Chains A and B, each alone.
Chain A
Amino acid sequence: MDDLLSDFLSETLESLEVVDAELVKFEQQPDDDETLNNIFRLVHTIKGTCGFLGLPRLEALAHAGETLLGKYRDKDLVATPDTVSLILDSIDQIKSILGHLAETQSEPEGTDEEIIAQLVAASEGQVEAVAKPEEKAPEPQIEAEPEPEPESDPVTSCKTDTDQTEQGTSNYDEDLDRELRPGEVSLADLEAAFLAAEGPDLDKLAAEAEEAKQAEKKKKAAEAATKAATDPIKMVQTVRVNVESLEDLMTMVSELVLTRNQLLQTVRETASEDIKIPLQRLSSVTAELQEGVMKTRMQPIGNAWKKLPRIVRDSAKAVNKKVQLNMSGETTELDRQVLELIGDPLTHMVRNSCDHGIEPGDIRLAAGKPETGQINLSAYHEGGHIVIEIADDGAGLPTSKIRNKAIKNGTISQAEADSMTDNQIHRLIFAAGLSTAASVTSISGRGVGMDVVRSNIEQIGGTIDLKSEDGKGTTFKIKIPLTLAIVSALIVETSSGKFAIPQLAVVELVRTSENGEHRLETVSNTRVLRLRDTLLPIIDLSQITGGPMEDPERTTGFVVVMTVGDQRFGVQVDSVFDTEEIVVKPLSNRLKEIEIFSGNTILGDGSVIMILDPNGIARRVGASQEIEQNVAQTTEKQTKDCTKTAMLLFFAGDREPKAVPLNLVTRLEEIDSEKIEVSNGRHLVQYRDTLMPLVHASGVPSFNEESAQPVLVFTENGRSVGLAVDEIVDIVEEELLIEMSDGSLGTIGSAIIKGQATEILDVGHFLTLGFDDWFDRAVDEQAGDSTAKKKVLLVDDNAFFRNMVKPLLNAAGYEVTAIESTSEAWELNDAGADFDVIVSDIEMPDDNGVNFAHRLAEDLRWSGVPRLALSALGQHDLEKIGATTAFTDVVRKSDRESLISTINYVLQSQGEAA
């Protein structure tokens, strides 16, 4: 391609990007002359160059645009969003012609008459409309006044200009730039130039004595303006270099770094002094060279942001919102390769914020927020990475919507949803096919998006996380490496070989040992590490890399603690070598499928090593050890799903602590082991004049031989079962986040109690072991009273509570349907289900229990069903919120005895009333 043409193309495209952004700015602040002048200059330059290169179509288009802009500048016309759109359209048209030009080196066929006609109409048609009142009304004249004012000024400023030009040509750009800033100064010149472009005659007409000088200067001014626009801070001498040459250079440097590493390794072993000194020099020169070459690849992130103001403007316009985009840290530099890859995800996310995040103006006003929504885009360096934050002050993510959608999609199960925190629910938007937009707009809402964003970011070794606060907005935080080419990595070894872990994700390294500070423990077949009061899920690197599974009893080794997003986990390895600067080489296409690797590299010793992908491993952890992952997050202060519960801690079978809720236990007894009898394969003990069955909590009947046997006694309907344990440890009252187990027999789940992973036992299971007919008998008793089992609907969002209460009520002879939300209750209602009593929690995330009760009272079928409220609040508080009127009765959550007796009582009185 013609050098001139290619230079023109790249320069014009750059200018157009600036024009895009400036136009948006101009639309918001139509009185900002500086911005307008900048636009005008750029468009003018484009027009001029087009004429020079013989591109009539582009020239005509640019000319029409320029004419309209000229009207704005002369205050003949006031810019409206519609006309700005028109100009933007013409810019787009110019871009598409440029695209064609780049491919074929000639302008495409066809004309732009339509858009030119529109532009002309906009400038002419409205000129009259505006010009007329201008003559009559004094106001526009006032508006016009700023014009002549600077025109008188330029005489002086012009002189300084020329003076300065004479003083030194080397820095005249800067001077001009400064001079241009008042804007009005060069207006006259530009006008002259504008006229000149139309015909030499006009130029001559306009060329008065002092303007002749200015006309000469104007060319420089226009040039300077273009340059200033591309590099507004400082003019440095630059050379355009083909990106490919830079890439090649980088590859070579990478090779050099590798070779140096190899040499260093060899010399370390042979230790010949003669070589060491020159090698040290080579090493430091290589490091400098690497740094230098890296610098050539660095670009300010603002380059990737240039098109965003336009996008925000268009998106906001499309959905009729007012949105302002604020950017900070544009000068933060990062590798251009990364920059290219981050562009699309950023665009998508900014669009999302605009479309979903920011609420429509009226809703914002109603919520007491300013009508114009803010999107803040910022970038800064942190460690070896760059952090980009996209924050909006919109509505925040709709937690319950996402949850419901995710359950409906099958992304998560109901049980999983129960145990997830809001933040975890929010992160589900990164899962495929999850869009909560109520309607699909032209911009977004099709459910492909955030998952693509995530995978794009992960592809370049970055992570993405979000924080959302209801009604306050959403903040996305993207952390990406500065460069993809060279990263620092930790080299580890396991039975299946050596692997490199990027330092980016590594938080700390823990040495584990049997009796040391950090110990590996096993909870329901998964490994965890107790680390400063948190429970860290451990993934065995040997196992996920296809090697043999580590001996589960093994407790020594190293754990690499990693964070990915808000997920924190440990990777168990055999040994850890040192860290090495590695040159990441992309994986062969045939290996790209393996999600745990992100690349490979050559080590100093010449061997090839696979680089683990922290994101891929995190997904593995997520898949196999979801339970621990959730438990591990208990350290984060969470109010939801946390109930302060008194737990009885004990040992049974092994030294792993177990626990049961204290309020289920009737008594604690110590029974003389000699009194334990065996009858028909069962262990029994005489207790309070009856025979009480004994069950061992470990599942194995291994009772204490010598000393007294500690027993937890559970009594229900006059019958007791003893649960034998090895040792009662403690009673603690703690806020618990209980993670449900996979349904293994006899346990409800696990939790951290006193900093230790503890299994929570399912008491119901042991009761049936004591009496096979434990539940049946209760049914029989019930059957005596009435013909069928009474049906109880239990609505509570807390899974732990549901799991605890359901067996209790079952045991008391009720048929219990336990659900998590009121919406499910209505589904049951629609399905025609009937209940004898409805027990509902008062505080639930998706609905208020009181509202629920009121709706129940109005429901046709269920209005007669007694409503019981479960509450952690006191009676007094309940009165305050009017709960006592909505509910038949209120029971305190912790009081199980009264729950059953209240249900009995309510049902009885119901029966009498009927």
Chain B
Amino acid sequence: MSTPTPVIESAKPDKTGAMREFVTIYIADQIFGIPVSDIHEVFHPQAITSVPLAPPEIRGVLNLRGRIVTAIEVRNKLNLPPLENDGTNLMAIGVEIEDEAYGLIIDRVGDVLQLPEEECEAIPINMDPVWQKVSSGIYRLEKQLLIILDIKKLLGVQPKEELAA
């Protein structure tokens, strides 16, 4: 993919700060970045067992190589309409929080970006409060903005409550 190159170029050469690696994901045409270290794997979730009475953002549970993984609809978490998909070709990223495995269902996966740490900026305060809650920073890429998702916050956040607050 061509995106990384311009970004690295855009990094100011005089600053030799630490670089961070992000996996980019797309949700409803918006590009997000998740620190590579947070992501265990990317997989196609299959045979999801839905869990009755579970909160709406939980799509269900599935077996990922002998481990039970809870599938979370990231769109729901971000107050976005659900992706129209018959469930046959889903994409998810596997993360682990507090020893529990989660599969975050996303639209699609992009690439891996290396970005300098100091270029990360604070989230504009006028952004959707839910988005503010779940992100830890923002990068100005050449063509678009890359919102860095904080997985822990994302899983901890309750979309409805946050809106009310």
Interface residues of A (CB under 8 A from B): 255, 258-259, 496-498, 545-547, 585, 588-591, 594, 596-597, 600-602, 606-610
Contact = CB atoms under 8 A, between A and B. Distances in A.
B30 interface: no
A25 B47 CA distance: 60
B104 interface: no
Contacts of B54: 590-591, 594
Given A588-B61, A600-B61, A610 B68 contact: no
A594 B61 CA distance: 14
Which 6 residue pairs spanning A and B have beta carbons closest together? A545-B52, A546-B52, A588-B70, A608-B49, A608-B61, A594-B53
B53 A606 contact: no
Given A545-B52, A602-B68, A589 B100 contact: yes
B53 A545 contact: yes
A606 B47 CA distance: 9
B3 interface: no
B55 interface: yes
Contacts of B70: 588, 590-591
Contacts of A610: 49, 51-52, 61
B62 interface: yes
A547 B51 CA distance: 11
Interface in B97-120: 98, 100, 102
B52 A608 contact: no
B10 interface: no
B68 A497 contact: no
Contacts of A602: 63, 66, 68
Contacts of B47: 606-608
Contacts of B53: 545-546, 594, 596
B49 A590 contact: no
Contact of B49 (A255, A497, A589, A594): A497
B158 to A, nearest CB: 11
A608 B71 CA distance: 12
A620 to B, nearest CB: 11
A547 B52 contact: yes
B56 to A, nearest CB: 12
A608 B53 CA distance: 16
A496 to B, nearest CB: 5
Given A588-B61, A606-B63, A608-B61, A600 B68 contact: yes
Nearest to A605: B47
B49 A258 contact: no
A591 B49 CA distance: 13
Contact of B63 (A588, A591, A608): A608
Contacts, number: 63
Interface string B47-80: 1011111110010111100101010000000000
A589 B66 CA distance: 19
B72 to A, nearest CB: 8
A497 B63 contact: no
Nearest to A542: B52
Contacts of B60: 608
B51 A591 contact: yes
A596 B52 CA distance: 9
Contacts of A601: 68
Contacts of B100: 588-589
A553 B33 CA distance: 54
Given A588-B70, A606-B63, A608-B63, A496 B58 contact: no
B66 A497 contact: no
A594 B51 contact: yes
Given A589-B98, A608-B68, 14 more contacts: A497-B50, A497-B52, A588-B68, A590-B55, A590-B58, A591-B70, A594-B51, A600-B61, A601-B68, A602-B63, A608-B49, A608-B62, A610-B51, A610-B61
A602 B101 CA distance: 15
A778 B102 CA distance: 72
A601 B49 CA distance: 11
17 contacts: A255-B66, A258-B66, A498-B49, A588-B61, A588-B68, A590-B54, A590-B55, A590-B155, A594-B53, A594-B54, A601-B68, A606-B47, A608-B49, A608-B61, A608-B62, A608-B63, A608-B68
Residue from the set B52, B63, B100 with the largest chain A CB neighbour count within 10 Å: B52
A601 B100 CA distance: 15
A573 B47 CA distance: 22
Nearest to B58: A590
Contacts of A496: 50, 52
Nearest to B97: A589
A855 B50 CA distance: 64
Contacts of B68: 585, 588, 600-602, 608
A358 to B, nearest CB: 44
A259 B63 CA distance: 12
Contacts of A547: 52
A283 B93 CA distance: 34
A546 B50 CA distance: 11
A596 B63 CA distance: 21
Contacts of A590: 54-55, 58, 70, 155
A609 B61 CA distance: 8
A609 B58 CA distance: 15
A610 B55 CA distance: 15
A607 B53 CA distance: 19
Contacts of A594: 51-54
A591 B60 CA distance: 10
Contacts of B155: 590
A131 B78 CA distance: 83
A546 B52 CA distance: 6
Contacts of B55: 590
A494 to B, nearest CB: 10
